[in-house]
Amino acid sequence: MKFVDQVKIHVQAGDGGKGCVAFRREKFIPRGGPNGGDGGKGGAIVFQGNRAKTTLLDFHFQKYFKGETGVAGGGRDRHGRNGEDKAVVVPLGTIVKDVETGEVLLEVLDEEPHVLFKGGRGGKGNARFKTSTNRVPMEFEPGEPGQGLWVLLELKLMADVGLVGFPNAGKSTLIGAISKARPKIADYPFTTLVPNLGVVRTAGFESFVVADIPGIIAGAHLGAGLGHRFLKHIERTALLLLMVPAAGTEAVDPVAQYRVLLEELRLFSPGLLDKPRAVALTKADLVPAEEARALAAALRDACGVEVFPISAVTGEGVPALVQHLAREVFARRAAEPARYPREDFDFEPLAQQE
């Protein structure tokens, strides 16, 4: 499945049905009277979140959504049927913006239906215009038009933990080791071209969602590399896991890497630094154990956060890291249950973008 996180669509609420002009024609009722019914209201545009969706790809093939037009009124005071609402199903974390003004119209953070535009009101039939001085009214209303607009859908993935690191820091290897996600893994930069989601299940049968964000480099907040496009996906996470390698051709001073990553996050959105975070010292199996412990201690002293030397290939240190992430995520959920609702579910894997 191709990953798409931004797309323009046109939404149009249904028009109201027109009112009816009719008069009674019944035996033994010589004067009769107006009995035209009202038109039905138009169908609304309703946005609804779906936990199983992780991309806006569907909207590349269907860009126009319109509520049903209300049915016109009829004689004998029969009111027209209301038009059916049009549901627009989007992934959780989708933001709906006005294309022209950039105004945020709606944020879809749950699976409840959210009405964006109400349908047009149905027109009144001529029975509504009868008065003591106007007994044969010919007036009626055509029904109000539904509101239409081009909107921009922008997806910010909703995950509990965001993996942040330089290219080849081991993010994809880790998410593949702790979940059923199967991202592409290779020994060259920017192997991951799109965010990957993985559901991590704990021994207590609870689960949390991890997002693997494509590699960030210095200048990512300005558009360098892929970070500028995908940094937005960590804005909704409850916890950040910064990943720096202990060894490898791309490895530099882990403390320096950590500070660069932190600075890029700050420059993109200062609020990201308020999130709780931990550090994973990856590829610890490629250096002697004493050296890995020394690097972890240096990181811990310089950063003031929990540091976990791990090897996603051998599994060394991974269980302790997962336990720490689970404790932090579940504590956050308990403190803010309305902000981080969770159910047991699986994501459809995101395939690499071709």
* More reliable by pLDDT, 274 or 44: 44
Residue-wise pLDDT tens digits, 113-168:
999 999 999 999 999 999 988 988 999 999 999 999 999 999 887 778 988 888 87
pLDDT at 239 over 50: yes
Residue 323 — very low, low, confident or very high, per pLDDT cuts 50/70/90? Answer: very high
Q: Where in the chain is the domain with CATH 2.70.210.12?
A: 6-155
CB atoms within 10 A of CB 164: 27
Taking the C-alpha atoms of residue 77 and residue 220, their distance in angstroms, rounded to an integer, is 65
For residue 226, pLDDT over 80 is answered with no
List, by residue range, all CATH 3.40.50.300 domains of the chain: 161-335
pLDDT tens digit sequence for 68-124: 999 999 999 999 999 999 999 998 889 999 999 999 999 998 899 999 999 999 999
Q: Collapsing DSSP states into helix, strand and coil, what is residue 328?
A: helix
Fold of 161-335: Rossmann fold (3.40.50)
DSSP state of 61: T
Q: Which residue has the tokens 């994809």?
A: 172
In this prediction, residue 3 carries a pLDDT of 64
- Taking the mean position of all CA atoms in its chain, how far away is CA 323? 27
Predicted local distance difference test score (pLDDT) of residue 198:
78
pLDDT band with cut points at 50, 70 and 90 for residue 182: low
Of the candidates 161, 179, 147, which has an alpha carbon nearest to the alpha carbon of residue 325? Answer: 161
Per DSSP, 315 falls in state -
Predicted pLDDT of residue 348 = 42
| 15 token code pair | 């028009």
pLDDT in tens, 4-42: 788 999 999 999 999 999 998 877 776 788 999 999 999
Distance separating alpha carbons of residues 178 and 181, to the nearest angstrom: 8
Q: What is the pLDDT of residue 188?
A: 39
Distance of CA 209 to the CA centre of its chain: 14
Lowest-confidence region among 200-204, 302-306, 347-351: 347-351
pLDDT at 54 over 50: yes
> Is the pLDDT confidence value at 304 over 60?
yes
Average pLDDT for the chain: 82
Torsion from C-alpha of 231, 234, 235, 236, nearest 10 degrees: 150
CATH level 3 topology of 6-155: Spo0b-associated Gtp-binding Protein; Chain: A, (2.70.210)
Cβ atoms 245, 287 nearer than 8 A: no
Residues 6+ apart with CB under 8 A from 33: 23, 24, 130, 135
SS3 at position 318: helix
Predicted local distance difference test score (pLDDT) of residue 186 = 43
Task: Give how far the C-alpha of residue 103 lies from the chain's centroid of Cα atoms, to the nearest Å.
Answer: 17
- Stretch among 55-69, 116-130, 213-227, 265-279 having the lowest mean pLDDT: 213-227
